[in-house]
């Protein structure tokens, strides 16, 4: 019997690396595809065949998320895990003394916070029917209020803090039903943000994905009980909220 997983933001970077890692673990993966012109995911599909199912997905659109959920339902009624990896950065330079681009802030919130919630809302029914029942939300150290030292990055930092609260609310609902939530900072990853590839970061996407999936493996073990929700880094170390 196939084990199914769903990953958003799968076109490149961390999302694509997570898809590869899940396929290597024997999962059949629904991969949310936002940029069909980016060829890596299509090339992976050619290599992996039925182990990879491409799903057109713009998590900023409720209609797109609903259609993606319908595509999942046409194949299976259950998912072992859902990974919300899709995110955008937005403006990072303006402080409160500058002219802020509120439309940009709303755009980032719509993707990073509401987009993740749209996907989780649409797929929780599938998740709770699976054996793994694991939701993985990719957060960030930028969402930590206690450790914040920035004076800008309003859109990204605030959207990730809101994602952390969202994860807690979801956890409170699904934990009594055996659901689990892994809320994880992926480290500083060499990936595309704001249209360019960051080469200065500490980790490759493959290294970050391998660490995150290693944490997920533990959550997916039969009989694993999650005592409480923590924000952790990719090594599993707890972080401040």
Q: Tell whether the model's pLDDT for residue 185 goes beyond 60.
A: yes
Is 155 part of any domain? Answer: yes
Angstrom distance (rounded) from CA 76 to CA 3:
10
Residue with tokens 């930028």: 142
Residue 166 falls inside a structural domain: yes
Q: Which two tokens stand for residue 37?
A: 């012109």
Query: Beta strand pairing status for 81-84 and 3-7?
Result: parallel
* Those residues with Cβ within 8 angstroms of residue 168's Cβ, 6 or more apart along the chain or in another chain: 229
CATH of residue 98's domain is 3.40.50.720
145 Cβ contact list (under 8 Å, min separation 6): 161, 240, 241
| Domain extent for 160 | 3-233
Residue 51 lies in a domain: yes
Question: What is the per-residue pLDDT across 113-127, written as a single tens digit (0 to 9) for each?
Answer: 999 999 999 999 999
Which run of H or E residues covers position 227? none
Task: Give the SS3 label for residue 84.
Answer: strand
| pLDDT band for position 198 (cuts 50, 70, 90) | low
DSSP SS3 for 239 = coil
pLDDT confidence band for 173 (50 / 70 / 90): very high
Place of tokens 């609903």: 66
Q: Can you give the pLDDT at residue 188? A: 84
Q: 211: alpha, beta or left, given left = phi > 0 and alpha = psi -120 to 50?
A: alpha
Residue 241, domain member (yes or no): no
pLDDT per position as a tens digit, 70-127: 999 999 999 999 999 999 999 999 999 999 999 999 999 999 999 999 999 999 999 9
The residue behind tokens 């490759």 is 204
Is 8 within a domain? yes
Is 95 part of any domain? yes
Residue 239 lies in a domain: no
Within a 10 A sphere around the Cβ of 160, how many other Cβ atoms?
Answer: 24
Within a domain: 240: no
- What's the domain count of the chain? 1
């Amino acid at each position: 019997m196939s084990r199914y997983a769903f990953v958003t933001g799968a076109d490149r970077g961390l999302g694509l690396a997570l898809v590869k890692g899940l396929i290597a673990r024997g999962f059949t993966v629904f991969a949310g595809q936002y940029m069909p012109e980016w060829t890596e995911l299509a090339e992976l599909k050619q290599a992996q065949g039925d182990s990879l199912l491409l799903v057109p997905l713009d998590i900023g659109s409720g209609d797109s998320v609903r259609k993606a959920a319908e595509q999942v339902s046409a194949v299976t009624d259950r998912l072992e895990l859902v990974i919300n990896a899709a995110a955008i950065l937005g403006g990072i330079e303006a402080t409160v003394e500058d002219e802020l681009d509120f439309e940009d802030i709303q755009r980032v919130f719509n993707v990073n916070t509401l987009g993740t919630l749209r996907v989780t809302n649409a797929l929780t029914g599938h998740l709770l029917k699976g054996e793994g029942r694991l939701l993985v939300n990719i957060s960030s150290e930028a969402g930590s209020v206690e450790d914040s030292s920035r004076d800008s990055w309003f859109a990204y930092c605030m959207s990730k803090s809101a994602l952390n609260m969202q994860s807690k609310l979801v956890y409170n609902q699904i934990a009594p039903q055996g659901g689990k939530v892994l809320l994880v900072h992926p480290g500083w990853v060499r990936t595309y943000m704001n249209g360019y590839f960051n080469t200065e970061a500490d980790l490759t996407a493959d290294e970050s994905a391998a660490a995150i999936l290693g944490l997920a493996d533990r959550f997916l073990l039969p009989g694993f009980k999650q005592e409480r929700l923590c924000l952790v880094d990719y090594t599993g170390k707890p972080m401040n909220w």
